[in-house]
């Protein structure tokens, strides 16, 4: 007959075993659990995150009160002038689009894809993986789809590729960034006429923190350091020609003594994501094919 102490120890042991088993099962089935339960968790917390964000935005808007009326009026006029300039540029670009569309129809070519842009704000970031993923305040109800490109604007007003939408909830979505090793997309080097894959590097290669690996670069020795990396357009959901970064380094190629077919390098991203807050999600709109002329 086991003593009470032995019975208690046995119960404790069984409980500990059960907890470890449960943790192992959760870890094993995590990839399957994450999509459905992650959506549930995201949608549940969304109202609280948005409320907090509204409060934080109101607080930061109060900093405008430190400026005088003259300063605020001057800034407003600068912004209005900038808006007029951009509106004129957009009008000129839209004329080109109309002309391009007419010429394509005349040649019976498929119209190019157009893009719908949605402004979003980051509402949740993982403090442990600060640069690798974050949550935005738009979801499937706002037309956000998995795989859509996430773009941000530099101080000069240039749009750069930041990441790709991963999981979409009803009111929010998760974006994985180019710093996340799981995101592997193609990038083109127009000057070198090469295409590589971001985050595809040789196993065991080390990368400085501010750089991202690029792999599957064709073997050649004429890569230009600091040349611009652009989105290649091979991924249909990512607009082509968007800046990603600048080439920083490519391992030397010596084809006389190596049978390697590809090289690995690294690049500096166009934008550091430490303090980024607003993004633009680009969603591809496929135009209907023109009716074939008889």
Partner 1 sequence: MPRGLIQFIFIATALLLLPLPELFLGAVGVPLPLAAPLVFCLTAAAGYRAGAVSAIGLGVWFDLLYGRDFPVSVWALLAVVLVASLQHREHPDHRLALTLPAFLALLAGEAVWALGVMPPDPVFAELLRLAGGVIGLAAFGTAAALGLSWLLDHTAWQLGLECSAIPHPAARTRQGGIPGRTR
Q: Which residues bind partner 1 (CB under 8 A)?
A: 12, 15-16, 19, 22-23, 26-27, 30, 33-34, 37-38, 40-42, 45, 48-49, 52-53, 56, 122-130, 133, 135, 166-167, 174, 182, 204, 206, 274-275
Alpha helices in 62-153 (DSSP H): 69-106
* HSE value, Cβ hemisphere, 13 Å, CA-based, for 80: 6
Q: How far is the CB of 91 from partner 1 (least distance, A)?
A: 38
- Mode of pairing for the β-strands spanning 194-198 and 186-189: antiparallel
DSSP per-residue codes, 180-219: STT---EEEETTTTEEEEET---TT----TT-EEEEEEES
62 vs 68 by CB, closer to partner 1: 62
Q: How far is the CB of 268 from partner 1 (least distance, A)?
A: 19
What are the b/e assignments for 67-102, b being 16+ CB within 10 Å? Answer: eeeeeeeeeeeeeeeeeeeeeeeeeeeeeeeeeebe
Q: How far is the CB of 260 from partner 1 (least distance, A)?
A: 21
54 vs 224 by CB, closer to partner 1: 54
75 vs 145 by CB, closer to partner 1: 145
195 vs 276 by CB, closer to partner 1: 276
Location of structure tokens 């192992």:
24
156 vs 209 by CB, closer to partner 1: 209
Q: How far is the CB of 77 from partner 1 (least distance, A)?
A: 31
């Amino acid at each position: 007959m086991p003593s009470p102490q032995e019975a208690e120890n046995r119960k404790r042991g069984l409980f500990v075993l059960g907890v470890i088993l449960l943790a192992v099962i959760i870890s094993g089935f995590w990839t399957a659990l994450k999509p459905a339960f992650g959506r549930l968790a995201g949608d549940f917390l969304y109202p609280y995150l948005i409320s907090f964000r509204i409060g934080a935005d109101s607080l930061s808007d109060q900093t405008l009160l430190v400026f005088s009326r003259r300063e605020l009026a001057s800034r407003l006029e600068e912004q209005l002038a900038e808006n007029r300039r951009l509106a004129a540029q957009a009008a000129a670009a839209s004329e080109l689009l109309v002309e391009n569309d007419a010429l394509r129809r005349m040649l019976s070519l498929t119209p190019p894809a157009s893009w719908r842009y949605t402004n979003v704000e980051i509402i949740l970031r993982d403090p442990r993986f600060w640069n690798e993923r974050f949550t935005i305040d738009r979801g499937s109800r706002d037309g956000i789809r998995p795989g859509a490109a996430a773009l941000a604007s530099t101080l000069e007003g240039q749009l750069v590729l930041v990441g790709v939408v991963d999981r979409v909830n009803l009111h929010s979505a998760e974006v994985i960034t180019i710093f996340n090793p799981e995101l592997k997309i193609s990038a083109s080097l127009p000057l070198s006429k090469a295409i590589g894959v971001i985050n595809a590097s040789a196993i065991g290669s080390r990368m400085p923190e501010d750089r991202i690996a690029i792999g599957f670069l064709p073997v050649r020795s004429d890569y230009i350091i600091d040349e611009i990396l652009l989105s290649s357009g091979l991924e249909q959901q990512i607009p082509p020609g968007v800046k990603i970064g600048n080439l920083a380094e490519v391992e030397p190629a010596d084809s006389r003594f190596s049978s390697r077919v590809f090289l690995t390098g690294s690049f500096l991203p166009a934008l550091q994501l430490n303090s980024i807050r607003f993004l633009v999600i680009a969603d591809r709109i496929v135009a209907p094919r023109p009716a074939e002329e008889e």
